[in-house]
Structure formats: structure tokens, C-alpha cells
A and B are shown apart, each in its own frame.
Chain A
């Protein structure tokens, strides 16, 4: 991981994995609880929709008199007949679809981030083996020279210097003795004039948001102590725009910075972090050397990543060869990857977690929810065996009886899945929050198709057993038991 854990320094893989697994578990519990609350809040809407749909189907059934419409009407009424059971089934399917929508959105986001672009794509320079990546500042100048002077002209970054951006990760706390979550700030130290064009998620801002950020970045260029912080982090640290804050370095030990909160990052962008001018970091390192007579231990490791926008794949390949040449970068080995591949490399550390998410957690949730649905439908079928028998007596075929049971479950599944995915899509579409350097996190529109389908699939799986049992109801046995 490129320097992103809260410790802001090299960490062992295991502890980071454990930490992430813990966060994941906590997140899952929170999402489940959120799903439950949202499900409860939308229950009246569910019954309202059910009622409206039933009225519509009733009107069609009575206008056309068709058998399928009448059967559908019986299904709708069957669902409304046991509000408690239908509510529980709805809630289970709602929560399941919501959680899976979010998991799907995360995987979709990762898929997008790791998808290769053919032109004008970003590439990333990192330490070849070290996680988090740390490189000497001199590498930035060398890399610039290679890009802007040694690459053939048609392969150079289109916007020259503006297409190269370095990141340095700086962590600081307001309380040197007792650093806590609510008094620490993690910042990207970078060149302010390149933020708008090089930072994912900020290059597509429009209107007032874009204008405000541009003005702020201009100020940051002039005033090296100016920082921009996400609103949530400001709230967490109990800070306000305009306030001055002294931060004691966490990864840059013995460095203390005095900053001025010049503004906030746009809502939902780079949540939980801040931006600072990288020149301030370099000046602080120089001042340290001046004052102590020795370079700061981090002075030669203060560039974490370098981003570059390249016009073609060929340009990337040529530059990669240069980067691999020890003649240019002999102190520490570095590598050039496409941004997607870089992210892919970073994600490789989490591949077990993603594997578990995809192949253990999701199937487990689907399985458990299918059992919940199966249980609810089984009870319903058991209670209505006599009715099923009566339908058979009246001449309904076993397949009709089976269709009734499956149909009721599918209706609930469709509505629960549909409402859940609609809500997930609507909510996340409006909040637009971003996870680290990934693009804006959102539930893709296609979830509106997958949500109802998932709800129906789980309902189908859960109700198939009870439906088969209903189909095979022996009329004489049912009436003998009643007698």
C-alpha cells in the first residue's frame, strides 16, 4: 500500500490486513444496520406499492378476465395477507440487495480503476519493492528531464510539466503526546497548480465548486502554509476554515508545521484527508538540516509517488525502459506502471480479502437469505396447505399451485430488490463520496436491473422447495388431516 495506512510508515502486511479485515467487518455490520433501518423506513412504501400494483392488476384482471391476470391478483393478495411475514421477507431481501449493491459498486469501482486506457492515460512511478513507496526527491527532477527532454517529442506529456505530479504523504497531529484519530491529519503534499488537472475526481468538477477550488489552490500557491481539508476531517478535528493549526509530524518525526486552513475540499472528494503545498515540506526539510546540521531521516525518502500523463502506450513503454535503466535511477530501484496496473499492484495485497468477499461472503449472504426466505415461505405454505388442496379440488393443476407460491415470493423479491437498489443508487449518486485516490464511489445504474433480479433469484431459490412441496400436496391426505 503506497503509504496510506494511518501509521504513515512502513507496516507489516499482516497487521495491515488484520486492520483492513477489521474495518471491513465493522463496515459490513454498519451497512447491515443501515440496510435494516432503511428497510424499516421503506416498509410503508413497499406496502403502498404493493397495494397500488394490486389495484392495477385487479383492474386489468376484471377488464380482461384473463386467467394469468387473476392468478397474479391472487398472488398480490397473498403477499398482503400476512403483513408480518411479508415484511420480514422484504427486510431480509432489502438488506441483502443493499449490501450486495455496495459490494458490487466497490468491485465495479476497482474494475474501472484497473481498466487500461489506450490514450492519455496516467502512469505512476513507485519504489520497485518497498511498500509504501519512498523515493529520493532527486528522482523527481530526473524523471522530469526524461519525460520532457529525452522522450521523443511525440511521446512527451502533451501539457509538458503540468502533466507530472508528485505525491508526498504527510501525517501530523495537533497533540504530540497523545496522537489520536480526532487530532491527526493525513495530507497529500503536492504542487497546487496541478491539482485540478492531475487529481482524479477533481478534473471533472464544474461550476461554483470548480471556481472555489481553483481560487483556493491559487492561494495555496502563494501561501505555502495554506492547506485544504475535507469537511468531514475538519469536523472530526474540530477545526474551522481560517483557523491556524500546528501539526507535529508523525512520519516526519521532529518536524512541526504551522498551517492555515484555507478552505475545504469539495464534498465527497478525498474524504478524510487534506492537501498541502509540497514546497512547504521541502522547506521544512531544509530548515531541519540547517538547524541540526544533519539531513532529516526522511529527506531522501520524501517523494512517495510520481504521476505522469502520457499520450500513447508506446510513450509509456519507452519511458518504462528509461525508468528501469539504473543509469538514471541508481540509488533505489523504481518502476513505472500504468495507473491501473499500479492500483492493481496495490490491490494485489488485498486479493485474499476480495476473493473472500466475492466467493465466500457474497455466496454466504445469498445462501443465508435464501434460507430466511425458504423458512418464511415454508411456514406460509404449511399454513395454506388446505387452500392449495382446495385449488386442486377445483381443478387447478399442480403447476398453477406451484406458480402461486413462486409468484408471491418473486413479487416480494422484485420489489425488495428494486427498492433497495434504487435507494442505494439514489443515495450514493447524491453523496458522491470518494475512497482515497479512486474515482467517485457510486452505485452503477445497471444495479437497478441487477437489484430486482437478485431479489427475485434469491426469492426463487428460497421458495422453490416450498413451491414443490405445495405442488405435491395430496388432497385426500390434507382433508383427512383436517377431519
Chain B
């Protein structure tokens, strides 16, 4: 499986007052195209920071990150914004749908920034909503949807631009077991049928077990990197 995400000697530190905190230290990692990777680790281990860096939401202190052909660690903020629109889909723990927009309009949001016709946009939004099973909820606002449904809208929004990479930060953290299972199944479908590369941060071993590979982080460094097949069998 050729690597689509390449992280080399990544270092990220923050300064709090006079104290310097190293969140990630010399981390190197490859994620293959069409791979479903789960990032696990205790709080403060640097998983979300790593996810943010790979998704171009933050810039590293040192090291290099490439996604596909793009070296994103060298991009400016506006270049990153444009790159994210085309290449990255985000799924958040708390969905973060815009409450004033309908499900359809929320999913359409990232497409507004792309040079598409109205018809092309409509088709892509309908396909995405159909895939997550919410074709009949297009005109509902987030407040009229259950948590599971909102997260499915979130997934539709993440995949509507047909991105290279989907990153998910605790996507099941706010859901009941049944909804969480539906969301994870959707992610498996995205990987298996649409060959999407997915990186998911989770605390839940059962959710992680649905990935192909689990990476454990501890104190900003890679602690274990294991295939998840055995764990998945136990679910």
C-alpha cells in the first residue's frame, strides 16, 4: 500500500508562560492510501495535535508532513485553507454543524468554495446524503436531528468534496452504542468502497478495533503500532 500521508521527524511544542511543552517529539509515520488508522493514547499524549497537523489545521515546530504530492508543513494559512477544502474531510466529536443551516446546506458548505456548477453541487450533496442514509432529512436543521443523524450529516459533509483524506476526532465520543456502530460502519464503507484514507482519534478500544491499524501514542512519541484485526474479532 503506497503511503499517502508521510510524517517525518515531526516536532511540536507549545509555550506556556516560560515553560516549553513538547507535545510531539521526532515522530515519523506513514499512512497508506485507503488505510483506516486509529490513533489511541492517554489524554495529553498528542493524538489530536498530530491529527490537526496532518489535516493542516496547525503548523509543526519542526519536521515535515506530506499528503499526496503536497508538503503541507510549508504552506501558508490561506494555502492550507484552500488545500483543506479539496483534500481533507473532517468529522468532529460534537459534529459542529451550523445550526442555522439545513442538513443539505451544511453538506453543501465546503462545495461552495469549489468551482462547481449548481447542478454538480446538488448531485454531490445528494450522493453524500444518500450514502449516509439521510436523503429524507435534507431540509432538517441540526436541532431537528438526533446525535447519530447529526454525525452522519457530519460524515456526509466530510466526504462531499471527495477528499484524499478523512480525519475524525473522537467521532463516536458523543454517541450511544447503536449510533456509534452506524458511524463506524459508515467509515468502513468509505474506506472499503470509496478507498478513502481515514485517520481517527479515539479513546474507545472497540471503535479503534474497527480500524485496520492502531497507533498508540505516549508522551508525544509512537509507543506501539499494531494491526487491529485481532481486536476487531473480539467485538
- Using CB atoms and an 8 Å cutoff, list the residues of chain A in contact with chain B: 64-65, 67, 70, 74, 77-78, 80-81, 386-387, 390-398, 475-476, 479-480, 482-483
Known A65-B118, A475-B58, A479-B52: A394·B100 in contact at CB below 8 Å: no
Residue of chain B at shortest CB distance from A480: B48
**Contact present for B77 and A393 (CB under 8 Å):** no
Binds A, one of B33-41, B89-97, B129-137, B176-184: B89-97
Q: Is the CB of B227 closer than 8 A to any CB of chain A?
A: no
* Known contacts A65-B121, A479-B48, A483-B48; is-contact A394 B92 (Cβ 8 Å): no
Is B99 in the interface zone, CB < 8 Å from A? yes
Q: Are B121 and A74 in contact (CB under 8 A)?
A: no
- Residue on B nearest A67 in the bound complex, by CB: B112
Measured between alpha carbons, how far is A65 from B169 in the docked complex, in Å? 31
Among B78-86, B145-153, B185-193, the stretch in contact with A: B78-86
Task: Check A64 against B118 for contact (C-beta < 8 Å).
Answer: yes
Complex Cα distance A394/B80, Å? 11
Q: Is the CB of B100 within 8 A of A395?
A: no
- Majority SS at the chain B contact face: helix
Known pairs A65-B118, A475-B52; list 12 more (Cβ under 8 Å): A81-B99, A386-B96, A390-B96, A391-B109, A393-B57, A393-B90, A395-B84, A395-B85, A398-B77, A475-B58, A482-B94, A483-B48
From A74, A77, A386, A392, B81 is in contact (CB under 8 Å) with: A392
Ordered by A's residue number, 18 sampled pairs between the chains whose C-beta atoms are within 8 Å are A65-B117, A67-B112, A74-B100, A74-B101, A77-B100, A390-B96, A392-B81, A394-B85, A394-B90, A395-B81, A395-B84, A395-B110, A396-B81, A398-B81, A476-B52, A479-B57, A479-B92, A482-B94
A480 to B14, CA, bound (A): 12
> Within the assembled complex, what's the spacing in Å between the Cα atoms of A393 and B169?
13
- Option from B58, B113, B117 in Cβ contact (under 8 Å) with A396: B113
Determine the residue in chain A with the shortest Cβ distance to B110. A394
Question: Chain B's nearest CB lies how many Å from the CB of A481?
Answer: 12
Q: Is the CB of A387 within 8 A of B96?
A: yes
Contact A74 B98 (CB under 8 A): yes
Nearest B residue to A69 via CB reads B112
Complex CA–CA separation, A479 to B96 (angstroms): 11
- Which A residues lie within 8 Å of B113 (CB)? 67, 394-396
Q: Which residue of B lies closest to A477 (CB)?
A: B58
B118 CB contacts on chain A under 8 angstroms: 64-65
A70 CB contact (under 8 Å) in B96, B99, B112: B112
Q: Which 3 A-B pairs have the closest CB atoms?
A: A395-B85, A65-B118, A77-B100
Chain A residues with CB under 8 Å of B108's CB are 70
Shortest CB-to-CB span from A116 to chain B, Å, is: 56
Contact A395 B82 (CB under 8 A): yes
CA distance A479 to B92 in the complex (A): 10
Q: How far is the CA of A81 from the CA of B90 in the complex (A)?
A: 25
> What residues on A are CB-neighbors of B82 within 8 Å?
395
Give, as a whole number of angstroms, the nearest-CB distance from B98 to chain A: 6
0/1 interface trace, chain B 47-58, chain A, CB 8 Å (1 if under): 011001001011
CA distance A64 to B117 in the complex (A): 9
A387 engages B98 (CB within 8 Å): yes
Residues of chain A within 8 A of B52, CB atoms compared? 475-476, 479
Task: Flag B119-144 by CB within 8 Å of A: 1 or 0 each.
Answer: 00100000000000000000000000
Given the known interface contacts A67-B113, A70-B112, A476-B57, the answer about A397 and B98 at a Cβ–Cβ threshold of 8 Å is: no
- The answer to whether B110 touches A476 (Cβ under 8 A) is no
A53 to chain B, nearest CB (A): 15
Of the candidates B77, B98, B169, the one having the most CB atoms from chain A within 10 angstroms of its own CB is B98
In this complex, which of A386, A391, A394, A396 has the most chain B Cβ atoms within 10 angstroms of its Cβ? A394
Asked if A394 contacts B84 (CB within 8 A), the reply is: yes
Residues of A within 8 A of B77 (CB): 398
Contacts of B117 in A (CB 8 A): 65
Q: Is the CB of A479 within 8 A of B169?
A: yes
